[in-house]
A and B are shown apart, each in its own frame.
Chain A
Amino acid sequence: MQFMLLFSRQGKLRLQKWYVPLSDKERKKISRDLVQTILARKPKMCSFLEWRDLKIVYKRYASLYFCCAVEDQDNELITLEIIHRYVELLDKYFGSVCELDIIFNFEKAYFILDEFLLGGEAQETSKKNVLKAIEQADLLQEVCGLCPR
């Protein structure tokens, strides 16, 4: 996977994760172009499209669009389910997640993503294991101050 973007129906970026080195300027241009392209598509359309030399896989959940760019030989359907699994993880962690949770706790959204995908590849697909890792980290913050390294 080359990058993942989350954006609202109004076109506001809520989360962006880049797995290939690109300049800030290029990132902004890509996000702008892609958000526009996807928002212009109608609801019943196919979830995949060719864009430059990449394949775009996207899906809308309530007010948020989740969009991944993968390479030519990557599998579109499994990417679609990567998105779904990430949504499930957020949902489970925040307890029926909504856009506001991601805005106010953006750092958590990044941490969860890092546990699930690393370097653009699935690191851990078990929901239990990912959540366990995050839970452990949350616990650490409570006690760590007490136990100097």
Chain B
Amino acid sequence: MPAVSKGDGMRGLAVFISDIRNCKSKEAEIKRINKELANIRSKFKGDKALDGYSKKKYVCKLLFIFLLGHDIDFGHMEAVNLLSSNKYTEKQIGYLFISVLVNSNSELIRLINNAIKNDLSSRNPTFMCLALHCIANVGSREMAEAFAGEIPRILVAGDTMDSVKQSAALCLLRLYKASPDLVLMGEWTSRVVHLLNDQHMGVVTAAISLITCLSSKNPDEFKTCVSLAVSRLSRIVSSASTDLQDYTYYFVPAPWLSCKLLRLLQCYPPPEDGAVKGRLVECLETILNKAQEPPKSKKVQHSNAKNAILFEAISLIIHYDSEPNLLVRACNQLGQFLQHRETNLRYLALESMCTLASSEFSHEAVKTHIETVINALKTERDVSVRQRAADLLYAMCDRSNAKQIVAEMLSYLETADYSIREEMVLKVAILAEKYAVDYSWYVDTILNLIRIAGDYVSEEVWYRVIQIVINRDDVQGYAAKTVFEALQAPACHENMVKVGGYILGEFGNLIAGDPRSSPLVQFNLLHSKFHLCSVPTRALLLSAYIKFINLFPETKATIQEVLRSDSQIRNSDVELQQRAVEYLKLSSIASTDVLATVLEEMPPFPERESSILAKLKKKKGPGAVSVELEDGKERGECVNFNPKPQRTSTPSPSADLLGLRSTAPASGATPSAGSLLVDVFSEAGPSATSAGVNDDGFLRFVCKNNGVLFENQLLQIGIKSEYRQNLGRMYLFYGNKTSVQFVSFNTTLNVQTKTVEPLVEGGAQVQQVINIECLTDFIDAPLLNIKFRYGGALQNISLKLPVTINKFFQPTEMAAADFFQRWKQLSQPQQEAQKIFKASHGMDTEVLKAKLLGLGTALLENVDPNPENYVCAGVIQTKAQQVGCLLRLEPNAQAQMYRLTLRSSKDTVSQRVCDLLAEQF
């Protein structure tokens, strides 16, 4: 490239950049920048009108300063001025500034949109592209509102230049991703699909990204793209490496387009048309064949491009999951990559094989690579590759190889990186349970886990082993013996003490016959660990002791003495003290019979899906865990197994073996068990049906906008809602869960709505849209009445719509000084609302943050001097007025309490937000 115009002569900019680079310290840099900012400010404010060149130069300097990481709060207007310059470079810099430093000032946006409009209608392709790039870079809703109608027209118009079409396609994609409701393809659909046939490869490459996104959202409307995509792919795959000229990349014809075509096909099931399908299978076979050919170049770019297509083809083969021959070939190809010298390929092969392992056609083929994968786990130098190997071992595990895989994972755990230990522990625990034929192996494995990686064994894991031991009497004696032996180690992990305490408390009698593990020996062993343990473990041990008194009357005197000692009965921890006092009293006044009844062996736990699996799913995100429990019980409903049912009713997090204070989990689990135990995993469990106005759904939506509002045996109501300033739009989805149609379906709201379809077919869903405008602040929510006939019977449901005042929050960012100043300004007593309340859920930081953000306020960091506290700020937008709101939440983890303080310029608002939010924690 000739050195025509690099930097195009902005000498001032080059000098400034050099100055910054020459700064010896951060302070010097900041000083230089401040000097420059002052200079630019004075130029912009000066009386003399600046010429275009100077404006461009200063705007460019501001941009540079911003990209260095400094805040820029002026210059937007000058940049906007540049947009209407008739000099291309000035316009270009103006657009760049706008793209990087978007500003939500509405006056500016109007000016920007005007400039864009002019350029779009200029018929000058270079200007049109600039304008389209700007829209694509900003992608805001305002721009979508202004241009979503115009761009499809440009995209399909016959006289549009290719380069403009390319920009228009991707511009539209960005707008669609940001505001799908504003981009309506309708009449353009078929012409957009036909861009796949365009002569210009660049146009196809750009358009296919748009088509893929649209197809994944509306597969039916775009399904004609399948046959077009197949024929395009087939032409590329069969072309010689020179046919496509500059679209050939290191001897690979059109690799980007090929990958995108294969990706588009993954939005659809295998083609139904036999000819199309045949052609596609041929393409896939050709791609697999090419992988075996000698490379046309030694460059890594060549093999990367070629393999990118291969991996995408394998993804498609896995997606179809219907061609055993192709699946096995894919597996063999990946098997070769497992031993490749390129780390990248080994990584991808391990990753891709994970999905192959879950297909019934290729599961066995994947298993043949077990030794290579185990070797990878042991020898790979990069932890991310080892992680993939561990994932694959997990995915390929079945009854035939479980013992080998679990043993390898356990031995790997001893040296595993800290970052992946917790996940490994979960996986071992799951596999051990799932494939346990004899449960003594299971118990051994879990105790080994605790021994090797005790710190990473979460509650779910040790709860689960106890649950299983309680439920299977064939393993109880073995468990007691093994745990007793494990406790002999001078330093054993606290989790081991927990499991040991629980199991010996229940089943210590099964090994008491051996003098080496007589009751007193058992007790002394447990008690030797007592003082090293945390409060919850000590609480558990105290419960084990009282159980001992029942199991072994001969230990009663010793244990009573322990309970009576000052360190127990006067313990400063109220839970421990209470247990010591109660247990002591119980053991001295209750008759043997009463004692035996109260302290009876725990009844079996109801069968549930393992909560460990739920935890792993949560850790890895949805879809990452492809293996389900083999004897998978009810899916989706993962109730946290919880051996301490009183946890939700008392603030103490201590384990209790007795369940004296509330119903013990009985074998025939009462229906209330689900609501009693806090379900920490499922996001929004369907709430129980209730007569009258249904309230509990309402409260779940204070901090979120989408989800299931209501569900009973017949009907499910889902909600999607969005809010901007004082306006909102709510989509209600009424789903008929039965196979019979609902007639005279009718909903009334104590505000106006459009009516819904009076018929809801069985299994179908109808939608209703409600537009909401907030006129002034309010407390009562709109009431929704739903009436319909289901097989003759009239159904009547009343619901509070989850429209709450906080939905109209606009978050406000502010610095600490501003925050405290405003806080002080709102110091009149009626402006403040405060509540002190007990935590009814866990106090996890991330969850708290998510809820506060969901409330709609900005979460301000580094404002409150106490880092444990949270402060937020926002403005509630109503038509009548804006109400500024400040919030402070002070958690006290020890007491499991919160103090919530709201201050706003309007007393009713403070009170309402405070009331709503107090229910959320």
- Residue ranges of A at the interface with B (Cβ–Cβ < 8 Å): 13, 15-16, 19, 21, 24-25, 28, 42, 44-50, 53, 72-73, 75-78, 80-82, 84-85, 92-95, 101, 103-108, 110-111, 114, 118-129, 131, 133, 135-142, 144-145, 148-149
Contacts and interface: CB of A to CB of B under 8 A. Distances in A.
A16 B101 CA distance: 12
A124 B202 contact: yes
A78 B385 contact: no
B706 to A, nearest CB: 18
14 contacts: A13-B69, A21-B178, A75-B259, A77-B348, A78-B259, A78-B308, A93-B1, A118-B171, A119-B136, A119-B177, A122-B205, A123-B166, A127-B246, A131-B1
A118 B71 CA distance: 26
B124 A149 contact: yes
Contact of A94 (B6, B21, B623): B6
Contacts of B304: 77-78, 80-81, 84
A77 B305 contact: yes
B243 to A, nearest CB: 14
B468 to A, nearest CB: 32
Contact of A46 (B71, B96, B170, B382): B382
B363 interface: no
Contacts of B126: 136-137, 140
B92 A111 contact: yes
A122 B139 contact: no
Contacts of B247: 125-126
Interface in B303-320: 304-305, 307-308, 311-312
Contacts of B136: 118-119
B334 interface: no
Residue from A48, A93, A131 with most neighbouring chain B CB atoms (10 Å): A48
B137 A114 contact: yes
A103 B206 contact: no
Contacts of B312: 75, 78
A125 B256 contact: yes
B112 interface: no
B344 A119 contact: no
B310 to A, nearest CB: 9
A146 to B, nearest CB: 10
Nearest to B302: A81
Contacts of A47: 343-344
Contacts of A120: 174
B634 interface: no
Interface string B376-410: 00000110110100000000000000000000000
Interface of B is mostly: helix
Given A46-B385, A81-B305, A84-B301, 8 more contacts: A25-B813, A47-B343, A95-B1, A119-B177, A123-B166, A129-B163, A140-B126, A149-B124
Interface string B1-36: 101111110000010010001000000000000000
Nearest to A93: B1
Nearest to A41: B382
Contacts of B813: 25
Given A46-B343, A119-B174, A76 B96 contact: no
A80 B256 CA distance: 11
Contacts of B353: none
B457 interface: no
A144 B127 CA distance: 12
A53 B206 CA distance: 26
B249 interface: yes
A127 B256 CA distance: 13
B122 A121 contact: no
Interface in B245-272: 245-247, 249, 254-257, 259-260, 263, 266
A123 B87 contact: no
Given A110-B96, A122-B209, A46 B259 contact: no
Interface in B152-184: 163, 166-167, 170-171, 173-174, 177-178
A123 B382 contact: no
Contacts of B5: 138, 141-142
B344 A125 contact: no
A46 B8 CA distance: 40
Interface residues of B, number: 80
B121 to A, nearest CB: 11
Contacts of B343: 44-47
B4 A46 contact: no
Interface stretch (B59-67, B657-665, B798-806): B59-67
Contacts of A140: 88, 126
B206 A121 contact: yes
Nearest to A118: B170
B86 interface: yes
A25 B209 CA distance: 29
Nearest to A74: B263
B87 A145 contact: yes
Interface string B28-70: 0000000000000000000000000000000010011001010
A101 B381 CA distance: 35
Nearest to B174: A119
Contacts of A107: 60, 63, 92-93, 96
Given A118-B133, A123-B166, A125-B256, A103 B308 contact: no
Contact of A138 (B4, B259, B344): B4
B384 A46 contact: yes
B256 A149 contact: no
Contacts of B384: 45-46, 48-50
Contact of B87 (A77, A136, A144): A144
A24 to B, nearest CB: 8
Interface in B127-141: 129, 132-133, 136-137, 139-140
Nearest to A138: B5
A114 B343 CA distance: 31
Contacts of A49: 384
Contacts of A149: 86, 122, 124
A17 to B, nearest CB: 8
B88 A44 contact: no
Interface string B613-638: 00000000101000000000000000
Contact of A118 (B3, B122, B167): B167
A144 B382 contact: no
Query: Lowest 6 A-B CB distances belong to which pairs?
Result: A77-B308, A119-B174, A121-B209, A78-B308, A118-B170, A126-B246
A122 B96 contact: no
Nearest to B173: A119
B31 to A, nearest CB: 19
Contacts of A101: 6
A142 B166 CA distance: 26
Contacts of B122: 149
Nearest to B811: A23
Residue from A93, A101, A107 with most neighbouring chain B CB atoms (10 Å): A107
Nearest to B166: A123
B166 A124 contact: yes
B621 A53 contact: yes
Residue from A73, A77, A145 with most neighbouring chain B CB atoms (10 Å): A77
A94 B344 contact: no
A78 B382 CA distance: 21
A65 to B, nearest CB: 16
A75 B308 contact: yes
A124 B246 CA distance: 11
Nearest to B178: A21
B347 interface: yes
Contacts of B385: 46
Nearest to B168: A118
Given A104-B14, A149-B86, A125 B6 contact: no
A145 B87 CA distance: 6
Interface in B63-110: 63-64, 67, 69, 71, 86-89, 92-93, 96, 100
Contact of A81 (B177, B202, B249): B249
A75 B260 CA distance: 9
B202 A78 contact: no
Given A93-B1, A94-B6, A106-B67, A46 B347 contact: yes
